[in-house]
Structures are given as C-alpha cells and as structure tokens.
Structure 1
Amino acid sequence: MTGQLRGTDIAITGIGLVTPAGIGTKETWARVCSGRPTASADPALSELPVQLSCRVPGFDPRLRVPGAQPWRHDRFTQFALTAAQEAVDDARLDPGTWNESRVAVVLGSAAGGVETYEKQHRKFLDTGPRNVSPLLLPAFLPNMGAGQLAIALRARGPVLHTATACASGATALMTAALLLHGGLCDIAVAGGSDAMITPLCATAFAKMGALSTRQDAPSASRPFDRDRDGFVLAEGAGVLVLERYADAADRHAPTHARLAGYGASGDAHQPVAPDPEGHGLQLSLREALRTADASPDEVDHINAHGTSTPLNDRSEAATLHRMFGTASPSITSAKGVIGHAMGAAGAIEAALTALTVEHQLAPPTANFHRFEPDAPPVDLVHGEPRSHRIDLALSNSCGFGGQNTTLAFRRAAPAAGEG
C-alpha cells in the first residue's frame, strides 16, 4: 500500500518557523540545507559555565508579533504567535471567516514562560512583592502559549498544552491528529515553542553535563560525531496547520506533506538518560509505522533526535541500525545547525521533515566528521544536502522522563504508478 491515500491521512497545509536559522520557513529551510551552524557566544551567559547558545536572530516582537501589546507575552509565546501567523497564512486560511468552533490549538512547551518567571523572581527577591508584575502568571504559565494563540486566532475548539519535555512539540502534533481523527475539530493549529536560553536553565543543563563545553562555537553541536560532548541550548517555535486530507483537497489547499502515522512510548528506565538499548524508541518507531500502514523497508529518510550528547546518539543509532539494518534510510539531525530548542524541537523538526519530503532533499548533519570506532553503521547525511526519492520519512523526538514520539510523513500525493 506504499503511497496510497487513506481516509486517516492528515494534510499539512501550513508551516510557520521561528528558529536560530531564521525567522520564517524559507529562511530556516535554506540555512538548514546549507549546513551552516548557528551557535555563537552569548553575552547573556557570559558569567556561566557554558557561554554558547543558538538564538533566533534579530527577533523584534514589535515588528513580528500580531497585536498591539507584544510585551505582555513571554518570549516563548511571542515566537508561537509569529510562527502561527505564518502557518495560517501559508495554509491560505482566514481566521475572520473560518468556523471558529471547529478550530483546535495544541501547543507543546517544556518550560513555558521561564524567562518571565526568572526575571520576576529576581525582582521579588531584590525589591519585594510590591514590584512583581501582575502579568507574571499570564506570561509564565505553560498553557498560556496555547491560550494566547487561541485568542489571537479566534479558535474556540479544543485548546491544549502538551508537556513531554523535548518531545512536547511532536506530541502536540500527534494530539492534533488524534483530535482531527476523532472529529473534535476540522482544523488544528499545532506545534511547539520554547525560550529556555536563560541563566538558570543554562546553568541547570550545564550542571547535568548536557551542554557542549567546546569553545569553537560554530562547531559545538556535533550530532553522531565521535567528538560530540553535548548540545547547544536553542530557542524557537514551529507551528503547523493540520487538516483532514479530504477537507484540504475540497478547498484546493496547498499541501506540503501528509502526516500518515505516529507513535509514542516511554522508556521506563531513568529520569534523564535514554534507555541504552533504545527499547522505548523502538516501540515508538514501530507504532508510527503501524499507524502509517508501512514496513521498515519502506522508510526512505529519518530525521533523528540527534542531540549531540554521547548517550542519546549512541542509543538512537543502535536502535535505528537494529530496526533498519545496514541498508538504512538516509539519516540527518538538524541540531548541528540550529541547536536544541527543547519543547519546540519536535515541531521544528517535524516541519523540516515535511519539507524534506516535499522537496525530496535531505539536509546535512552539520559538524560531523567521523563515527566512534564501535558505532553501529547508519547512513548519515553530512557535508551537503542529498537529493533522493523520499516517499516516507520519520521524525524522532525524545525527552526527559523517557518520553518518545515518532511522526511519519508521506508525500502530498502518491508518486506516479502508486496507489
């Protein structure tokens, strides 16, 4: 049944991205395909153990965020509002005319408005309760990103927040697909957003040994490379518009790709370290293939979680080798270019995977030079993007707590001779 359209397929009709690679989908895709990393020294972290980050360049909320008072929102909500506006425009939808009761919003975030929380907590400690902003809770609470999106878009269907650590954005997309399949909405605006490049978050990750301590900033994030030593903290948002494929076809909507399957699982292993055998991730992969009505030998490409940490990359590579064998699909990790955007990562990388399927082009893994001597062989794209046939692609997302989500994407329409 390779490539066949099914009644359960979901159309991705809109994509919006705000990432360290650029503000907008076109800018982000071009930078990711170039393989040029974005990590640099961050003045805001200059006094901390790790001083590198991947920030969104030139983001001015006064110019980017819809509405008259963007300063009321935390940075993570500003990113989400900006990405959502691009996604809705890309889908050729008008919130002024759609059936607002049939539009859902699902947004994932690992930390919510943590920047606002840190600043207001410092103000509380320094000057007392009198000077704490009354906007603290509306800006900080993690569900407020989804809530503000619903307000801005006049979406009165289900409004949900997902929190599965670094898998949050991917979990939001899976949840949105379930809402569409269940008939609870006709349009879902879904994705993830995070802005965790803060002194406290950076210190916490550094204390855990999760961040790269390399001083050559552009080369710090090195997914699957023998010399990897941790990720680079990033920020951003990815928002997609999802519709049932038949509904999108009825309104002649442009479709980037189809969300054809999804899977989720738990490692039940350890709070912050992945299962070294990758049993949980394998369950997630198998469920994504089952719901996509596909077999492992049909997979052409995989967007790996690929964090650049020693434990994750080793476990993920072993799992992919075990499932797909020596003739493995092409594999890439965007985190070599854009760093790790936490709860936004899964949504950003889902969007990149949809674009990979749309353009039939696998972006390279930046900063990769060589595998560990005992690393399981996988077909890692590096050096330059690779053009090849990609009918089915998977995107992996994993998070603290042992949470795994895998999304399966097919081309927007069956290739010639299929179906």
Structure 2
Amino acid sequence: MEKKRVVITGMGAVSPVGNNVDEMWDSIISGRSGIDTITKVNKDDYPAKVAAEVKDFNPTDFIDKKEARKMDPFTQYAVAASLMAVKDANLEITDEIAYRTGVWIGSGIGGMGTYEEQFEKFLEKGYRRVSPFFIPMMIPDMAAGQVSITLGAKAMNSCSVTACASGANSIGDAFKVIQRGDADIMITGGTESPMNKMSFAGFSAARALSFNEDPQSASRPFDKNRDGFVMGEGAGIIILETLESAQKRGAHIYGEIVGYGATGDAHHITAPAPEGEGAVRAMQQALDDAGMTPEDIGYINAHGTSTELNDKFETMAARQVFGDHANKLAMSSTKSMTGHLLGAAGAIEAIISLKAMVEGTLPPTINYETPDPECDMDYVPNEARKAEVDAVMSNSLGFGGHNASLVFKKHQ
C-alpha cells in the first residue's frame, strides 16, 4: 500500500511566551522568557518558586462562557489552539469532509486542577457538592473530545498519554493515521495545565523542579549549573493533511512531516536510560522512517529539560545517531524560555521547529553561561541565529521511558 504524503497546513498555540503562534515565535527568536514567580499557587508552600504560566488568556474569546465552565484549563487551551490552527489552515469542516477529519491531542496529566478542587469539596461537604462535570473535566482525553465536538471532526479521535512525550506521540500517531489512509486531515498536538498545588507538590517532592528562585536563570538547559526543570503550561496544535487534500483546496503548506520514531527505555520510572539508549533508537527510527541520513538534518529542537541526566544523555544520544555530523549540527532547547509544558511540550516544540525551518532562524538556548564538558554540542547559545535548513528534528522524552522523535522537511 502506498503511503500518503502528509503536510502541515495550520498551527495554533497558547503558551507562556504568547497566546498565538506569531507572538510565541517572536518571543522565542528574541530570547524572551515566559518564566516568572508562581502566581497560581502559593509560592511560600513549595521549594520551587517559579513557573512558566499562561498569561492574559480569556477562554471566552474562543468558547461560550457556559461551555467554558465545563472545561478544565487544559481543555480550554486545546480548544483555543485548535480553533486558531483551523483558521490558520483556512479549513472548514463541512459534512462532506467531517468523516475524514480526526483529532489526536495528548495530555500528560489532564485536569489535575479540577481533581484537586473537587476532592477538596468532597472532603469538606460530601459527594453531593461534587460537580456532575467532574469526570469529563478531568480525564485527559477530553481535550480531544471537546475539540471534536466543537469542530465537528468525526474520524479517529484519540489521546496519547505518555507523560512529557504526549504531544509528540500524538502528532506522530496522527501522522500515521493519515499516512495509512484512515483519515485525510488530523487536528493534533498536546495540552497541559499543571498549575495546581498537587502538581507542584509531586514534582517538588521528586526533586525534578529547579529550586532556583530567579525566574530569569532557573531554566538553563545544557548549562553546567542547571538544577531542574521549570513547569510550564499551554497547548500546541497543528493541522496535518494529505498532500492531495491540501493541494485540492489550495492550502498554504508550512512543511511536510516525514519521520516518526517512538521507543521505550524499559529502564526506570523517571530516569532516562543510560547514555540515552532509548532516545538513540527513537531518533534513528525517525530518520529511517523519513528515508534520511544524519547529514540531512540541519537543526534539532531538543527535549532539553535543564535536568542533570536528560541534558547529558540526550547529547550523548544525538552524538551516537549523528556521528561526525553532530559537530556541525545545531541543537537548542526552547524550554529555556517556555519552561517545560509536560504533555504539551512536544507539540509546542514541533511548531517552533517548523517555524525555524520556514523562517530560516534557529531558536536560542538562553541562560547558557557555564559550559558542561558532558554537554558539548552547538546549543545556539543565548541568541537566535540565521541559518537555512531543509529538515529538522524535534525530540520528546517522558517519565516511564517514553521517547518520541519527529522529522519535518521543507515541502517541495
């Protein structure tokens, strides 16, 4: 069976550095951080004091007020980003194409804030005061469900829950749905809203977060003085479409998705496999799926969490996969500005990778001050760089040993 060619025709974003793609991209290439002191929980209750929160987002700009009240913020972000992406793609989901248009949106932890709020009500006042919308507000698949309902998309509707690889896995899985002919269009990406007490408590207890109280330097991927990630929130959505469908309706094409690799470490619940062994296989799978050599890739958007083991092992993995080409390859972490959006990270970073290719500008890794001998690649330190690249890779790695790599190339 001939594989369908799959292109990207629309993008939407809600992020700590801008509530649409243009604002986000402008912040990224300007090196502006979205990290600040936590406001959505009491910072005095936690050792982590900073976060990358979404700012000035009004769900009623996109969703009816009554309906918005039935959605956790992670779902609101996804619906908003999806509406932006569909508009950007100039896509109207008519009855004619609804049954060939699907949704695949991932989330790592879903409506944790809703769970926390409703559990407190239950403890104080009993089950009768728990919202009847509690379950559909909390479950991670509801972002995909609500987007499907809002837009009338009736093909494959799913949600990948693979921790911090959820967004990337969702895009890769949606890519395969179209490639094998089960849909013509997929609305796909990731979303997360973990700005609540229990999320901060859990990640703080695991000592995964940066305890650096300076917002401007807390997220410092690949820097020798990194001490943990900074939690972020938001959503990234892209429209994937068969080349035939895009051409038929005269859609603008941002690029083509050509490779997807997904592997498991089978090693540890939180720590990556030694030397990034699982990431090596995911990157190689993505290259093989794309029919590309290492030399074809001009830029990698790294998972780059600003944690000790991730940054070291991801560097080692990239060096193993790319060999001598790794000495010429730029690999930056935009989590230095956005923080770590957990299940939305891979989707936001896929958009940034596409923009880097389209605009000919490589995003920087900011806060890079003290080189680490064990992190020895070109991380595009501190300032964006003009560079024409024909193909890019985006990596996402998650608790549980999930590894996902996506490859995009310019559309010819």
Provide the C-alpha distance between the structure 1 equivalents of 2:266 and 2:19, rounded to a whole number of angstroms: 37
Partner of 2:90: 92
Map 1:338-357 onto structure 2 (within 5 A).
338-357=338-357
Q: Which runs of 4+ in 1 moved over 4 A?
A: none
* 1:39 paired to 2:35: yes
SS in 2 for 1:16: strand
SS in 2 for 1:59: coil
SS in 2 for 1:150: helix
Partner of 2:410: 411
Instruction: Give % identity.
Output: 38
Whether contact under 8 Å (1:17, 1:23) holds in the other structure is yes
**Offset from partner CA, 1:265-310 (integer Å, 9 cap, x none):** 0111111000121111010000100111101121110000000001
Map 1:172-187 onto structure 2 (within 5 A).
172-187=170-185
Provide the C-alpha distance between the structure 1 equivalents of 2:209 and 2:36, rounded to a whole number of angstroms: 13
Partner of 2:113: 115
Partner of 1:75: 73
Provide the C-alpha distance between the structure 2 equivalents of 1:219 and 1:323, rounded to a whole number of angstroms: 30
* 1:192 paired to 2:222: no
SS in 2 for 1:262: strand
Whether contact under 8 Å (1:172, 1:191) holds in the other structure is yes
**Displacement after TM superposition at 1:71 (Å):** 1.1
Q: How many residues align?
A: 407
Provide the C-alpha distance between the structure 2 equivalents of 1:244 and 1:70, rounded to a whole number of angstroms: 32
Partner of 2:287: 289
Q: Which amino acid aligns with 2:210?
A: S
Partner of 1:219: 217
* 1:161 paired to 2:180: no
**Displacement after TM superposition at 1:249 (Å):** 1.9
* 1:126 paired to 2:96: no
Partner of 2:25: 29
Unaligned stretches of 5+ in structure 2? none
**Displacement after TM superposition at 1:69 (Å):** 2.2
Provide the C-alpha distance between the structure 1 equivalents of 2:320 and 2:259, rounded to a whole number of angstroms: 21
**Offset from partner CA, 1:84-142 (integer Å, 9 cap, x none):** 00000001111246511111100100011111011000111112112111110110111
Q: Which amino acid aligns with 2:127?
A: P
Whether contact under 8 Å (2:229, 2:339) holds in the other structure is yes
Partner of 1:399: 398
Whether contact under 8 Å (2:4, 2:181) holds in the other structure is no
Provide the C-alpha distance between the structure 2 equivalents of 1:261 and 1:376, rounded to a whole number of angstroms: 26
Whether contact under 8 Å (2:390, 2:410) holds in the other structure is yes
**Displacement after TM superposition at 1:200 (Å):** 0.4
CA distance 1:103–1:272, shift in 2 (3 Å): same
SS in 2 for 1:344: helix
Whether contact under 8 Å (2:93, 2:101) holds in the other structure is no
Provide the C-alpha distance between the structure 1 equivalents of 2:299 and 2:370, rounded to a whole number of angstroms: 20
CA distance 1:67–1:89, shift in 2 (3 Å): farther
Moved more, 201-210 or 315-324: 315-324
With structure 2 as the length reference, what TM-score do the two structures score? 0.96
Provide the C-alpha distance between the structure 1 equivalents of 2:140 and 2:375, rounded to a whole number of angstroms: 39
Provide the C-alpha distance between the structure 2 equivalents of 1:276 and 1:111, rounded to a whole number of angstroms: 26
Provide the C-alpha distance between the structure 2 equivalents of 1:260 and 1:401, rounded to a whole number of angstroms: 26
* 1:14 paired to 2:10: yes
CA distance 1:263–1:114, shift in 2 (3 Å): same
Q: Which amino acid aligns with 1:42?
A: I
Provide the C-alpha distance between the structure 2 equivalents of 1:69 and 1:174, rounded to a whole number of angstroms: 30
Provide the C-alpha distance between the structure 2 equivalents of 1:353 and 1:8, rounded to a whole number of angstroms: 22
Provide the C-alpha distance between the structure 1 equivalents of 2:274 and 2:220, rounded to a whole number of angstroms: 19
SS in 2 for 1:99: helix
**Displacement after TM superposition at 1:250 (Å):** 2.4
Whether contact under 8 Å (1:356, 1:363) holds in the other structure is yes
Whether contact under 8 Å (1:49, 1:203) holds in the other structure is no
Provide the C-alpha distance between the structure 2 equivalents of 1:363 and 1:242, rounded to a whole number of angstroms: 23
**Displacement after TM superposition at 1:257 (Å):** 1.2
**Offset from partner CA, 1:158-182 (integer Å, 9 cap, x none):** 1101111100001001111111012
Map 1:255-404 onto structure 2 (within 5 A).
255-324=253-322, 325=324, 326-372=326-372, 374-404=373-403
Provide the C-alpha distance between the structure 1 equivalents of 2:224 and 2:329, rounded to a whole number of angstroms: 21
Q: Which amino acid aligns with 1:392?
A: A
**Offset from partner CA, 1:50-78 (integer Å, 9 cap, x none):** 12111111111122335752111000000
**Offset from partner CA, 1:18-46 (integer Å, 9 cap, x none):** 00001000000111111121111113232
Q: Which amino acid aligns with 1:398?
A: L
SS in 2 for 1:396: strand
Provide the C-alpha distance between the structure 2 equivalents of 1:214 and 1:381, rounded to a whole number of angstroms: 23
Provide the C-alpha distance between the structure 2 equivalents of 1:368 and 1:273, rounded to a whole number of angstroms: 23
Partner of 1:3: none
CA distance 1:256–1:314, shift in 2 (3 Å): same
Unaligned stretches of 5+ in structure 1? 1-5, 414-419
**Displacement after TM superposition at 1:7 (Å):** 5.8
Q: Which amino acid aligns with 1:318?
A: M
**Offset from partner CA, 1:325-383 (integer Å, 9 cap, x none):** 352311111100000010000111011111111111111111111321x3242111122
Provide the C-alpha distance between the structure 2 equivalents of 1:381 and 1:356, rounded to a whole number of angstroms: 12
Whether contact under 8 Å (1:321, 1:376) holds in the other structure is no
Whether contact under 8 Å (2:396, 2:404) holds in the other structure is yes
